[in-house]
Amino acid sequence: MTLDSGSGGIGVMIRQLRQSRGLSLRQLAAQLDIHFSHLSKIENGRDQPGLSVLHRVAQVLQVDLDLLLGEAGRQERPFRVLGRIAAGVPMDAIENVETFDLTKVFDPEDHFLLRVQGDSMILDGINDGDLAIIRHAQRARNGQTVAAMVDDEQATLKRYRQEGDTVVLIPANDRLQPLRYPAGRVRICGVLSGLIRTSVR
C-alpha cells in the first residue's frame, strides 16, 4: 500500500525542498545518514521514509516535522466497501457497493501512517507489516499506545505510562520487558487511532 497525496506525496515534497536548498541527492543522503539510493527511492515514491528519517529531514531542511508527517500520511483514493459480513450469526451475502474514504474518518491534517516493524505489540492485534494510524499529539494518557521517539533517534510503538520522572514504554508481548527512560529522553509524536491490517495471520 502506497502513501501518497494529491500534491505528489512525501517523496516529491522532499525532492522539492532539497532542490530549493541547492542540495544534490548525495549531499542530502549524507546529511541524513542514509544511502543515496534509498533517498532516490523515497523521492520517486518507491519507498517510504521512517519516522526517524522524517525527523532528520525536518532538521536538515529546516521544515516543520508535522508538515512532513501530514504529507506522509495522506491518502487520496477511497476504499470500496462491497457489502457486509457477519462475525457472529451467518447472514445472506449482500453486495452493496459504497466508498470508504479513510480521510473522512481520520483527518490527514491530524493523522499520519506508520508501517509496523516487529512483533512487540502482537497481543494488541498489531502485527508486523500493519499500518498504524497515528493522531498527532505531544502528550498521552497512561495506557494509550503511542508513537514515541527515544533520544530523537529511535522510533517505537508502545503502550505509554509515566511514573514520576520516568516514562515506561510497554510492549504487548509476554516475551519482552518494558523499557524505562527518564522522561526527558522520550518525545511523544502521536497516539494510535486505528490500524490497517495488511496481511492475514
3-state DSSP of the chain: CCCCCCCCHHHHHHHHHHHHCCCCHHHHHHHHCCCHHHHHHHHCCCCCCCHHHHHHHHHHHCCCHHHHHHHHCCCCCCEEEEECCCCCCCCCCCEEEEEECHHHHCCCCCEEEEECCCCCCHHHCCCCCCEEEEEECCCCCCCCEEEEEECCCEEEEEEEEEECCEEEEECCCCCCCCEEEEHHHEEEEEEEEEEECCCCC
Highest mean pLDDT among 54-58, 68-72, 80-84: 54-58
With 60 as the cut, is the pLDDT of residue 139 above it? yes
Q: Which of 37, 40, 52, 120 is catalytic?
A: 120
Q: Please list the residue range(s) of the chain that carry CATH number 2.10.109.10.
A: 111-196
Q: Please list the residue range(s) of the chain that carry CATH number 1.10.260.40.
A: 9-72
| 161-172 pLDDT tens trace | 999 999 999 999
Q: Which of 37, 41, 158, 199 is catalytic?
A: 158
Q: Tell me how far apart the alpha carbons of residues 20 and 69 are, in angstroms, rounded to a whole number.
A: 20
With 50 as the cut, is the pLDDT of residue 3 above it? no
Nearest CA among 145, 134, 140, 141 for reference residue 66: 134
Task: Tell me if residue 41 is catalytic.
Answer: no
Pick the CATH number of 9-72 from 1.10.260.40, 3.30.70.1560, 1.50.10.150, 1.10.287.110: 1.10.260.40
Q: Tell me how far apart the alpha carbons of residues 196 and 190 are, in angstroms, rounded to a whole number.
A: 16
Kindly report the pTM of this predicted structure: 0.55
Query: Which CATH number is associated with domain 111-196?
Result: 2.10.109.10
| 27-60 pLDDT tens trace | 999 999 888 888 998 888 888 787 778 888 888 9
